[in-house]
Amino acid sequence: MKEMFNVDDKIFSSMITVDVIVANVWMGFLLFGAGINQRVDKWLKADSSAIEDLKNKLINYKKKNQRIPSLLDFMMIIAIGFGVTGFAHFFSDIISPYIQNNFPYLEKFSLTSKFFWLIVIATTGGLTLSFTNFRKYEGAGASTIGSIFLYVLVATIGMKMDALAILDNPGLFILGFIWMLIHVFLLLLIAKLIKAPFFFVAVGSQANVGGAASAPVVASAFHPSLAPVGVLLAVLGYALGTYAAWFCGILMQFVS
């Protein structure tokens, strides 16, 4: 979104700082809640038997599919990742100029941006492959390798950050906490109405707020075998976030 909407590095640094601090404050409450989840479930009037069933299924699935990865497994996982990325680059170089030449008025929706199509095609490609036999590489550590590249991405973004930029506009913290309060209010309200177990509230929240770096941590606080649930929900959050953030960006452009 930063590249697509040409966000100033200073503003971007400020918002990332707010995001990290606010998200981690909320994560502390979630970890505390994980320790008293039975009491919270009682307040929510939730039946947590589904969590026990899920936990047992994941333990059995892990025993069935986990294996010691071979060199071929590593090469295939990396080949799939770079292959989808190359595919996305190839088609973004075709789609973007075509739209720019034939439908220039779509530029205001970022649809003439190569970077937009690169991310959309790569995200869609990854989601599509998750429904094929390629998903079996999860047993060989696909998520672990993906997490390594995720940290490389985070480090790359971090090298362009100036965390002290937030001092120029500390009011952004108020904005961040307002966002988080609305998020928490809606989560707890819906959980109370549908009687959802606190596990789904906590992991679902962190998957959207913290992502793949922290959602597995919250899930593991309930039981170590539930960590993959955090990873999968975080990946879904990233995928949905790509489209939702673009839509929000367009709405903000209209407002401005």
Assess if residue 110 is contained within a domain.
Answer: no
Give φ, ψ of 159 to 5 degrees. -65, -20
pLDDT at 21: 82
pLDDT at 212: 67
Over the chain (256 residues), the average pLDDT of each successive run of 10 is 78 80 86 87 83 78 78 93 94 91 80 83 86 85 79 72 71 87 92 89 87 78 79 79 85 86
Assess if residue 136 is contained within a domain.
Answer: no
pLDDT at 184: 92
Assess if residue 85 is contained within a domain.
Answer: no
Assess if residue 96 is contained within a domain.
Answer: no
Q: Which domain holds residue 240?
A: 1-66+170-256
Assess if residue 235 is contained within a domain.
Answer: yes
pLDDT at 163: 64
Asked if residue 197 lies in contact with residue 41, where contact means CB atoms within 8 angstroms, the answer is yes
pLDDT tens readout for residues 20-34: 788 888 888 888 988
| Structural domain count, the chain | 1
pLDDT at 8: 80
- Nearest to residue 229, comparing CAs of 138, 140, 165? 138
Assess if residue 122 is contained within a domain.
Answer: no
Assess if residue 92 is contained within a domain.
Answer: no
Assess if residue 108 is contained within a domain.
Answer: no
Sign of CA dihedral 232, 236, 242, 245: negative
